[in-house]
Amino acid sequence: MRRKLAWVILLLSAGLGAAAQDRGTAEKTRSGWSVVPLPTVSFTADKGWQFGALAELYYYGPNRSRYPDYDHKFYFDFGIATKGGRYGFISYDSDKLIPGLRLSTSVMYQNHKSYPFMGFNGLASPYHETLYYTTGDDGKQQPSGYYQMHRNMIRFLFDLKGDILPHFRWAAGLQLWVFRLYDTKWPLAATSLLHRYVNAGILSEDEAKGGIHAELKAGVLYDTRDSEASTKRGIWAEAFLYGSPDIFEKRNSYFNAALHFRHYVPLVPERLTFAYHLAYQGTLWGEMPFYMLSNIASLQLRQVDADGLGSYTSLRGILYNRMLGKGYAWSNIELRWFIVDFKLLGIDWGIAVNPLIDMGMVVQPYRLEALRKYGDSVLYSDEGWAWSGDKLHVSYGLGAKLTVNTNFVLSAEYARPVLKQDGTGGLNVGVGYIF
């Protein structure tokens, strides 16, 4: 069972940082710099207590005509955890640095000593709650190591976008991924599910240690949103190809496709919006290494984490990385109620809630023949196994949002899955809408 409890403290610091801006601006305008810092505290069963800080820096230019659009945006997010996990993320986004182009670039480091590995192909890999935790010598529950591994990851992203027609753009990018995988330090690491996959020959020992991959992507997008951070109306659609020639490891070349269609339908102008996201990503040729399967690809990264399916950035309330496959189809549905907007201390504030439903499934299985060959005899000899295809995974819940100066959105969402095989749900606190 995976439980997650997270909260953000010292919210007042966001207001104090933002209040340092020009307080003499007119309603719904902003110029110069806007700084929103926020200390954070969270707790997860996998990472323990996590302490960190984030900050968003916006430069709106010398005049007020572009607000809420910005000239330059910097984002910083750093944290450490009591069980040894740590992460750092820095990004930059601008449509002014290179005339006629929008540049987005970032670097992320993540050391996750309890990174989930739930097996391949969703429900084809049984989840046993009793194996997720064990009781330590102190009588407290801790991750058993059966469904975990130790993952170090560094990710570099460099993306460019340019106009083709009004609201219609091309996009291209380069990504470099560095993965180093190890056993966890938890009690059952030597008999973990990952070890069973290696012993069965489904994963080679080299692949189970990670690798380096340079990934290229290119595509088109259509965007009529009124606001990127807190969208109330418009369409945001992407279609792109991405892949890796695997020039470093020379064992896992692949060529994939991804489609995203996001639609924001105003039911009551400026107050109530029906929003939905339809998505697919799958393999056209080759095969990704297993540690790349959890990456949810996008033309423009919006969240620090991009893991799934099953996480607060893809299927909320469902076990982290519950579904690993060659291809996914999923959807996110929300009813966004923008309750109130007000101005306080020279800052624009907004409060909103969003009932939500998420659903998705594996539509292209990964290494299915090997699973069929070894599923009963090696992987799941004690539990029993039979492939019958994945089924639709569904979760439901409620979110709340606090907006600071339009572009900064503090989010809290709680969701629960319908299937017991997908866990018991949980609360997630972060920044921004997931789409």
Task: Decide: 336 and 275 in contact? Cβ < 8 Å.
Answer: yes
> How many Å apart are CA 111 and CA 34, to the nearest integer?
31
Which residues have CB under 8 Å from 3's CB, separation 6+? 45, 424, 426
Is the pLDDT confidence value at 354 over 90? yes
Is the pLDDT confidence value at 218 over 90? yes
> How many Å apart are CA 303 and CA 301, to the nearest integer?
6
Write out pLDDT tens, residues 247-268.
Answer: 888 888 999 999 999 999 999 9
> What pLDDT shows up at residue 25?
41
Which residues have CB under 8 Å from 411's CB, separation 6+? 399, 400, 401, 428, 429, 430, 431, 432, 433
> What pLDDT shows up at residue 6?
37
CA-nearest of 336, 332, 349, 340 to 409 is 349
- Domains, the chain: 98-431 (2.40.160)
Write out pLDDT tens, residues 143-199.
Answer: 788 898 999 999 999 999 999 999 999 999 999 999 999 888 777 666 888 988 888
Q: Average per-residue pLDDT in the chain? A: 84
> How many Å apart are CA 184 and CA 179, to the nearest integer?
15
> How many Å apart are CA 403 and CA 180, to the nearest integer?
37
Flag the least confident range among 32-41, 380-389, 391-400. 380-389
> How many Å apart are CA 299 and CA 27, to the nearest integer?
33
> What pLDDT shows up at residue 29?
60
Flag the least confident range among 24-28, 147-151, 216-220. 24-28
> How many Å apart are CA 321 and CA 325, to the nearest integer?
10
State the average pLDDT over residues 109-118. Answer: 89
